[in-house]
């Protein structure tokens, strides 16, 4: 039998053309990769920058939501305080508010008189005081009578306390609103 060689050798011209084709293909692949890199790298950098910006903005948003919550809490507290202030102002500006009377009683008592009990009922008042002498009680009554907030101030009873050696006085009068 005859031996058959299926492999044929390439001629030198084919060999050089094959080498040129391989070099051109390699150069074309490298140029394509460089071109794709030039096109995609800016997009990748933009995506990375956007992710960083989203992260920064989300942190700022969290801080803003915390600040907004604090602001709404402060607004609610401010509304509650305004309601309380309005109610206090409405109470103090009422005609029949005993605050002025109590302030006048405290101012008239001074240092020598101790207020034990104050009863205010509608237009009448009853005071129980402790003082050292009867002179202090009479000065207290004169001070209350001089005020335009009280009328018909009377000393109802005066008893000397045995344990403290002081006078216990009960004073009644009428309130003027």
87 and 122 together in one domain = no
Residues 6+ apart with CB under 8 A from 23: none
Shared-domain flag, residues 127 and 161: yes
- Do 58 and 44 lie in one domain? The reply is yes
In a domain, 4, yes or no: no
pLDDT, tens digit (0-9, with 9 covering 90-100), for 68-77: 999 999 999 9
Q: Is residue 73 part of a domain?
A: yes
pLDDT score of 85: 95
Task: State the total domains in the chain.
Answer: 2
| Claim to verify: residue 17 and residue 89 sit in the same structural domain | yes
The verdict on 88 and 22 lying in the same domain is yes
Residue 93: predicted pLDDT: 76
Which range of residues forms the domain containing residue 139?
A: 99-175
pLDDT tens profile 10-41 = 788 988 999 999 999 999 999 999 999 999 99
pLDDT tens for residues 104-163? 888 888 788 888 898 988 888 899 998 888 888 888 888 888 888 888 888 888 888 778
Distance CA 175, CA 125 (A): 7
Q: What is the CATH number of the domain that holds 114?
A: 3.30.1360.100
- DSSP secondary structure string for all residues of 98-158: THHHHHHHHHHHTTT-EEEEEEEETTEEEEEEEESSHHHHHHHHHHHHHSTTEEEEEEEEE
- Please tell me whether residues 82 and 105 are part of one structural domain: no
Is residue 130 within 8 A of residue 110, CB to CB? The reply is no
Q: Are residues 82 and 16 in the same domain?
A: yes
Query: Residue 38 has what pLDDT?
Result: 93
What pLDDT is recorded for position 5?
Answer: 67
Q: Is residue 2 part of a domain?
A: no
Confidence of residue 1 (pLDDT cuts 50, 70, 90): low
Asked whether residue 163 is domain-assigned, the answer is yes
At residue 93, φ and ψ (nearest 5 deg) are -90, 0
Rounded to two decimals, the pTM is: 0.50
């Amino acid at each position: 039998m005859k031996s058959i060689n299926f492999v044929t050798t390439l001629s030198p011209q084919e060999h050089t053309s094959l080498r040129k084709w391989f070099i051109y293909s390699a150069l074309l692949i490298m140029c394509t990769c460089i071109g794709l890199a030039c096109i995609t790298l800016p997009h990748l950098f933009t995506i990375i920058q956007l992710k960083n910006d989203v992260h920064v903005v989300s942190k700022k948003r969290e801080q803003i939501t915390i600040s907004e919550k604090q602001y709404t809490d402060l607004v609610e507290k401010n509304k509650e305080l305004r309601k309380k202030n309005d109610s206090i102002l409405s109470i103090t500006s009422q005609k029949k508010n005993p605050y002025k009377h109590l302030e006048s009683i405290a101012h008239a008592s001074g240092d020598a008189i101790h207020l034990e009990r104050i009863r205010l009922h509608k237009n009448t008042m009853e005071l129980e005081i402790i003082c050292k002498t009867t002179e202090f009680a009479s000065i207290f009554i004169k001070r209350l009578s001089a005020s335009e907030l009280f009328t018909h101030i009377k000393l109802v009873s005066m008893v000397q306390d045995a344990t403290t050696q002081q006078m216990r006085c009960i004073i009644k009068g009428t309130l003027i609103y």
